[in-house]
Structure 1
Amino acid sequence: MIWNRCIQFYFHLPIFLRLILSVTLIMLLFGFIIHLIEPSHFPTLFDGVWWAFVTGSTVGYGDYVPLSTLGKAVGIFLILAGGGLVTFYMATISAGTIKHEKDLSDGKIAYRGKNHIIIVGWNERTRQLTEMMRNRQINQDIVLIDHTMRNISYKDHHIHFIHGNPTADDVLQKAKIKDATHAIITADPSFKENEADRQTILNIISAKGNNPELIIVAEILTDIQQKNAERAGANLIIRSNDFMSSLFFQTIFQASNHATDIIAKTLEQQQFCTTPIDPDMAGQNFHACAVKLLDNNKWLIGIMRADEIMIHPDFKLILEEKDMLIYLQPF
């Protein structure tokens, strides 16, 4: 009974553990045998085990050599049995390492960290986001969920890729969504706008269902689906089409021919930031706080108060202790 349990336990071990255990047992066995056969040349059990490992791995230092015919026969059996097993062990490790790297690139390996950011959908916007995080040396891990890509190069993007449908629970569990802090859900470019928004809403529902505390930033393309995305649980909605429409209008109808260049250069050279208000600024008006931030090369453009965002409020507006400042800052 005990022997059967030991055999079952052995065959339930991972292949790497089984191989290293087998190699160790064989080397211990041959080391013990050679110690018994030639105790004068192998005075201790460790000497015999050392010879077995050196001989079985075909290194052959020559510091311990069997002299008797029986000892040499044991050496032959060791080379045939142990040498082949060690070679197979090394080949298995190499093949397993290559397979693991391929599975990582193919998005088959579950993420094992926590406090990470999940990105749903790989496109130019999310690619630039990962590049910005890497360039600013932000150490927070990124887990990408995408069903259209077959693999991704980790040398180029430094993210953990999960291949699959972002509405499937098993895929979200692979991404450890319960331990994530934020999720960025982008519009799927392979769908039409209405279909892309419906898919985004399904992704929001799935993410919130697995982690109600998750902060979700979602991209919505049509106005009619914005409320539905908020009802689904999105904390912040980004309307990329609104910005592009405004930019097109400025390009065609604005009197200045350089309006588009001005907007584009502003976006390229500045980044949006938010920060809690300094205690000494509470009680002062918006204008006074804006002047103080300008001294630090920051352009104050608005505040967040509770759930309300105020862009370019009245200069006489008095700021409160719980306000968040919204400003532009050079990269």
Structure 2
Amino acid sequence: MKTITAHYLRLPAILRLIIIVLTVLFLFGTMMHYIEPGNYRTVFDGIYWAVVTAATVGYGDLVPKTLIGKVMTILLIFSGTTFITYFFSQMATYTVKRQNALMKGDMDYQKSGHIVVVGWNERTKTLIEKINEDTPDQHVVLIDRTINKNPFQNSNVHYIHGKSYEDQTLEKANVQFAKIVFITANNQVSEEQSDMDSILTLIAVIGMSPVAKTIVEILTSAQVENAKRAGATEIIHTSTIVSSALFKRMD
């Protein structure tokens, strides 16, 4: 009994409330079936009456005829209506809180086979838009700590707010079941600091998901080898790419 109670208390509040409402309706319906078996021929008839009565619909197709049955109806109207009203108010509150958490990046991502993109900038914006355009069914998880809400609210992009090198943030992004992880450079700090953060994130990602393909953007030549040692699948050396492009412009 203690084990069942412990498991019940661990359930989300909204799920506990659903269990209470269903239990009340089932008990009242079952009791009504045994109180008036000729009127409520089956337990289902009793439960149907309980639902209709508690919801204050009152079709009138099943009406108690005995004194005890009428007392049961009064008790159900007082208790059941209170539970159902509270249930719907809690459902509305839960929905609003869930939507806010989803928008602000506080909700865990629970699916697998997704693409994780670390860092919000123009490059990641273009990358995510390209993914959505080419593979609209592909889910993307964006990790960043500089923005306050999901910049892609009407798409398959799930936002996680937090530091990308912390296990808690990576667990919320479900990195261990990700297909690809893109780690982009942070242009808001120095190049050295950006590379240190990227490599630290890379180490944390590989430690949590050694099978995921990791693509990391490195700004300084000195950290390219460290990124290789850390186990990056692919390294994008931005400075080299930009320098090559500028040099080609001279031809």
TM-score, normalised to structure 1, is 0.67
The equivalent residue for 1:229 is 227
Q: CA separation in 2, counterparts of 1:225 and 1:49?
A: 68
Is contact 2:136-2:156 (8 Å) kept? no
The equivalent residue for 1:208 is 206
Q: CA separation in 1, counterparts of 2:22 and 2:75?
A: 16
- Greater per-residue helix proportion: 2
Once the two structures are superposed, residues 257-278 of structure 1 have per-residue CA deviations (whole angstroms, 9 ceiling, x without a partner) of xxxxxxxxxxxxxxxxxxxxxx
After TM superposition, the structure 1 = structure 2 runs for residues 1-331 of structure 1, keeping only pairs within 5 Å, are: 2=1, 4=2, 6-137=4-135, 139-247=137-245
Is contact 1:131-1:157 (8 Å) kept? no
Q: CA separation in 1, counterparts of 2:43 and 2:183?
A: 63
Runs of 5+ unmatched residues, structure 1: 255-331
Q: What's the CA shift for 1:79? A: 0.7
Which of structures 1 and 2 has the larger relative contact order (alpha carbons within 8 angstroms, sep 6+)? Answer: 2
Q: Give the number of aligned pairs.
A: 251
Q: What's the CA shift for 1:213? A: 3.2
One-letter amino acid matched to 1:62? G
Q: Measured at CA, do residues 236 and 84 of structure 1 come closer, stay the same or move farther in structure 2, by a change above 3 Å?
A: same
One-letter amino acid matched to 1:180? A
Q: Measured at CA, do residues 197 and 46 of structure 1 come closer, stay the same or move farther in structure 2, by a change above 3 Å?
A: closer
Is contact 1:31-1:48 (8 Å) kept? yes
Q: Measured at CA, do residues 159 and 57 of structure 1 come closer, stay the same or move farther in structure 2, by a change above 3 Å?
A: same
Q: What's the CA shift for 1:195? A: 1.6
| SS class of match (1:143) | strand
Q: What's the CA shift for 1:73? A: 2.8
Q: CA separation in 1, counterparts of 2:210 and 2:37?
A: 69
Percent identity (aligned): 38
- The alignment's C-alpha RMSD in Å is 2.5
Q: Measured at CA, do residues 38 and 113 of structure 1 come closer, stay the same or move farther in structure 2, by a change above 3 Å?
A: closer
| SS class of match (1:238) | strand
Q: What's the CA shift for 1:201? A: 1.9
One-letter amino acid matched to 1:151? K
Q: CA separation in 2, counterparts of 1:232 and 1:26?
A: 57
Q: CA separation in 2, counterparts of 1:111 and 1:211?
A: 15
Q: CA separation in 1, counterparts of 2:145 and 2:230?
A: 22
Q: What's the CA shift for 1:238? A: 1.8
The equivalent residue for 1:285 is none
Kindly name which structure, 1 or 2, has the bigger radius of gyration based on alpha carbons.
Answer: 1
Once the two structures are superposed, residues 135-156 of structure 1 have per-residue CA deviations (whole angstroms, 9 ceiling, x without a partner) of 1125332222112222205434
Q: What's the CA shift for 1:70? A: 4.1
